[in-house]
């Protein structure tokens, strides 16, 4: 049973969060429809990493964990037409973004363990 519930952060109006990632400074990256929303360890909104498509997943990767991979909802073929394949009749676009902040080297149990 959940008790003592409280908001950690609030997405801007019109944003709908999906996946999350945390960096070594406890910043929280939330995938959303306008891009990747970024919050500091206190829950203060730092800004948006804008993307051409709504984002459904986000993760830090690479040898130094300084690459943010984000998965966009949908993809186009070489002619600019939407790709319609698979059971959901859609595709995904993967963006590779170099970042200054280092992602977590180990694997945290969850974002709360890193932030508190």
Residues 84-95 have pLDDT tens digits of 877 777 778 888
Phi, psi at 42, each rounded to 5°: -95, -5
Instruction: Give pLDDT, residue 106.
Output: 67
Instruction: Give pLDDT, residue 113.
Output: 40
Instruction: Give pLDDT, residue 46.
Output: 95
The first and second tokens of residue 46, run together, are 């730092």
Question: Nearest CA to 61 among 91, 103, 116, 5?
Answer: 103
Instruction: Give pLDDT, residue 107.
Output: 57
Instruction: Give pLDDT, residue 112.
Output: 40
Instruction: Give pLDDT, residue 41.
Output: 93
Instruction: Give pLDDT, residue 98.
Output: 86
Q: What is the CA radius of gyration of the chain?
A: 16
- pLDDT < 70 regions, the chain: 106-116
Domain ranges of the chain: 20-104
Instruction: Give pLDDT, residue 30.
Output: 93
- Cβ-in-10-Å burial (0-12, 13-18, 19+) of 35 comes to buried
């Amino acid at each position: 049973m959940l008790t003592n519930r409280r908001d950690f952060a609030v997405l801007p109006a019109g944003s709908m969060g999906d996946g999350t990632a945390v960096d070594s400074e406890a910043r929280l990256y939330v995938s959303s429809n306008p891009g990747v929303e970024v919050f500091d360890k206190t829950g203060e909104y730092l800004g948006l990493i804008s993307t051409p498509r709504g984002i459904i997943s986000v993760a830090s990767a690479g040898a130094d964990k300084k690459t943010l991979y984000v998965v966009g909802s949908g993809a186009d073929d070489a002619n600019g037409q939407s790709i319609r394949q698979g059971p959901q009749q859609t595709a995904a676009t993967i963006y590779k973004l170099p970042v200054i902040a280092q992602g977590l080297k180990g694997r945290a149990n969850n974002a709360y363990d890193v932030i508190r």
